[in-house]
Amino acid sequence: MAIRHIVKIDESKCDGCGLCVTACAEGAIQIIDGKARLVSETYCDGLGACLGHCPQDAITIEQREAAEFDEAATEAYLKTLQAGKAESVSQPKAAREGGFVCPGARMMQLNQAAAAKSNSTTQAGDRPSQLAQWPVQLHLVSPTAPYFAGADLVLTADCVPFAMADFHETLLAGRAIAIACPKLDDTSPYVEKLAELIKHNNLKRLTVVHMEVPCCTGLVRIAQQAMAQAQVDVPFRDVTISLQGQIK
């Protein structure tokens, strides 16, 4: 035991939304009986990545006597979560219905062995997905997720893959992704989250992909503000997609 910083959750404020669960890259927080709870002190690094994601301000960092953060134990625990072997996997409240737990917000790195094969031999409808992670929505991704480390990141408007038929092969293959809609989403936390992601992951490049309609360029401004806030020089590319699905 040592005196160190560790997460403190005020259950009287917590409404069980689960945003802190997806923000915690160590898996230290789960929703149990409708409330966010720290499942083990050894999984909490005390850095507070979850703080800015709680809409109820139910999470703080306190300094107290606690078990030391165990990186090896945390990595082993995350592997059991990713393999679906954990006894309890927490999800945001909106992802649970009728006792069924949806994997919609659980952090996963996907096996892309099939995606490495040439698409030239596949028939229509059989082309492998190039998606290498889950989740993908900017509200749900964790800035400290392992698949962002050193990544070539694509930040795309969520209409783009519908307009662009070869989005997977042309823009997604070999890259990490986050999707957002600058017009319809609540974008208030986006700059801070993206700045944190940029600051901690030594990105190879940040590519923003958006439709040619004016409202969609807001995604570029979000990315530029995030880079300025992070104060990290990241190679940047701005890609515009026409309504016919072509790169302009």
pLDDT one-digit tens code per residue, 47-98: 888 887 788 889 999 999 999 999 988 888 887 776 553 333 334 444 444 3
Spatial distance between the Cα atoms of 187 and 218, rounded to a whole number of angstroms: 10
pLDDT of 18: 80
Q: Average pLDDT, whole number, for the chain?
A: 83
DSSP letter for 186, please.
Answer: -
Over residues 193-210, mean pLDDT: 95
How would CATH label the architecture of 108-116+128-241?
A: 3-Layer(aba) Sandwich (3.40)
Spatial distance between the Cα atoms of 192 and 132, rounded to a whole number of angstroms: 24
- Selected residue with higher pLDDT from 212 and 21: 212
Which pTM value belongs to this model? 0.59
Closest CA to 89 of 74, 66, 105: 105
Over residues 146-151, mean pLDDT: 91
Q: Which fold has domain 2-96?
A: Alpha-Beta Plaits (3.30.70)
Task: Evaluate whether 107 touches 82 at the Cβ level (below 8 Å).
Answer: yes
Boundaries of every domain in the chain: 2-96, 108-116+128-241
- Using one digit for the tens of pLDDT, what is the confidence trace for 217-246? 999 999 999 999 999 999 999 999 999 999
Judge whether residue 211 has pLDDT over 50: yes
- Using one digit for the tens of pLDDT, what is the confidence trace for 33-48? 788 899 899 999 998 8
pLDDT of 24: 87
